[in-house]
A and B are shown apart, each in its own frame.
Chain A
Amino acid sequence: MAGDKIHIDVLTLDSVQCAACGYMMESIAALPDDVQEMIEYKEWSIKNKEGIGKFLELKGKVLPTICIERDLVFPSIIPQYEELIDEMAKRAPNEAMSKRIQSLRDKGFQFDKIQENLKKAGAGLKTRADS
């Protein structure tokens, strides 16, 4: 159920064209499988109207920015793994999930499913004004 997930929005220019945006996206896509089960995330490129709408809705200030549960948590700072875990745990929908995420603090990034995870998040797929 969507309510049982931690929601992450990544505000970008375009994760293909902009390396900073790309590695913001990768910081989420490279989270290990156990974390992936607990999160839902999406790239919002401001090259299209939907992305501009999300930028305004979340009151974005700079690009790229990682928002967790609608908070602007990492504006123009690509996070360390542990920082991401801590910020997600703070915003988990329940205590059990918060503890479960915290228990994965030493696990580290996982690189074998990045492309698959980026595709699920729509990374690079909506980066045209008409998309």
Chain B
Amino acid sequence: MAKQLLIDAIRGKKTPSPPWVPYAGVHCAFLIGEPADKMLKDPELLAKGVTFAAKRYHADGIPLVFDLSVEANSVGCDLKWWPDNVPSVTNHPLSDKSVAEAGLKLPTKESGRWPILFEAARLAKPQLEQMDCALMGLFCGPLTLASHLAGVRIFTDVYKNKEKAHDVLKFAGQVGARAAQLYAEMGADIIAIVDPVASQIKDATFKEFVHPYCQDAIKVINDAGLTSSFFICGDATKVLESVAQVGTHGFAIDEQLNLNFVRDIAIKHKVGFGGNLKLTLALSLGLLSPREDAIVSLAAGGTTGYCFAPG
């Protein structure tokens, strides 16, 4: 395991071999024989799951959680819990109110589930250090958090009600910056903005509503001397140039993108890139051989700024 190798790759540097990050998420619960909801509510089980997964998969870095409901929950969204999945957000406090009208406040380390994450990080971090494995803090990006806060109407508001959309996105960006600060305080080595729905919009919308509201969080990460990344899911082809220019050290994509295309954009903008072992087709369904799929990714990714990871 090699934490520095991963940091170098995310920062776009050449590495002797590609580092590897399993985004284990609630799979950690499966590995330790616990339901996902129970693990996510219990810091000891969470630390146990994360460290077990890091060891089992010889990870160079591992996220503490891969759960995009944490930030929304910490500012007032309710959750539906699942035994085999991440929790889902069930209400949208800004669907018919502004941030001021709803009285939403920025989270603190005492809000929502942040105390669980702090305690889990306290337990996991020394064990990960011993394994030379980076602790990664992943937080919900501005457009996905805005979707949680305002519901699906945000995708109409970005065209038809821009003032409302900017109000929600601005708050989401501030929450993101606070989340980045909290992950820095708990000892994360790498902090990533995870904005999966940012692939579901036009590039101009990304530039107007996603890029600006990532900047506060990126500044927090940079000021702390840590390494930043931007994770996007789905068919992100139309926004990928903008993703590479969002200001993070690197970015990561999912199985729906061609890694050669992604690599060329990353190298052009001198940032790192990660992906894209096929989570669904290979790892989940077994329709492709994970081994052969890994070889294809490794061949395409190369050793300049590339991090091998599920996509």
Contact = CB atoms under 8 A, between A and B. Distances in A.
B90 A77 contact: no
Interface size class of B (residues with CB under 8 A): 20 to 34
Question: Chain A CB within 10 Å — which of B84, B159, B235 has the most?
Answer: B235
Nearest to A84: B156
Interface residues of A, number: 36
Given A20-B199, A111-B92, A62 B155 contact: no
Interface string A94-115: 0000000000000011010011
Interface stretch (B115-123, B128-136, B145-153, B258-266): B145-153
A36 interface: no
Nearest to A47: B284
B82 A129 contact: no
Contact of A16 (B88, B155, B196, B199): B88
Contacts of A79: 155
A90 B101 CA distance: 38
B151 A76 contact: no
A58 interface: no
Given A17-B85, A22-B88, A80-B159, A63 B196 contact: no
Contacts of B151: 26, 30, 109, 111, 114
A92 interface: no
Interface of B: 68, 80, 82, 84-86, 88, 90, 92, 95-96, 144, 147, 151-153, 155-156, 159-160, 196-197, 199-202, 233-235, 256, 280, 284-285
